[in-house]
Amino acid sequence: MPKKKIEGILDNAFRLYHQGYSPELIELPESAVFPSLIPAAPSTARKSRVTGLLLGEPAPRFVRRGRNVRYRLSDV
């Protein structure tokens, strides 16, 4: 995903959060979370969903929407 699009997604998510939306309702795509918010490669994130560990720590919870994987802002 292009960097400008990722920045737009993150800006929109944080704007919603500051407007009072619950972080549990704001979902971010995998490409916006890795490596923008969590310093790991997307392939490492995919492995962490299976193993439950990401860089030696518990992996963030995720939500499947069809074939897409989303991460809630509250879990990131």
Structure-block tokens of residue 18: 């500051």
At residue 46, the pLDDT reads 93
pLDDT tens across 49-67, in order?
999 999 999 999 999 999 9
pLDDT tens across 9-40, in order?
999 999 999 999 999 999 999 999 998 899 99
Residue 55 backbone class (left: φ over 0; alpha: ψ -120 to 50; beta: rest): left
The domain tally of the chain equals 1
1 confidence band (pLDDT: 50, 70, 90): confident
Q: Which range marks the domain in which residue 24 is found?
A: 3-72
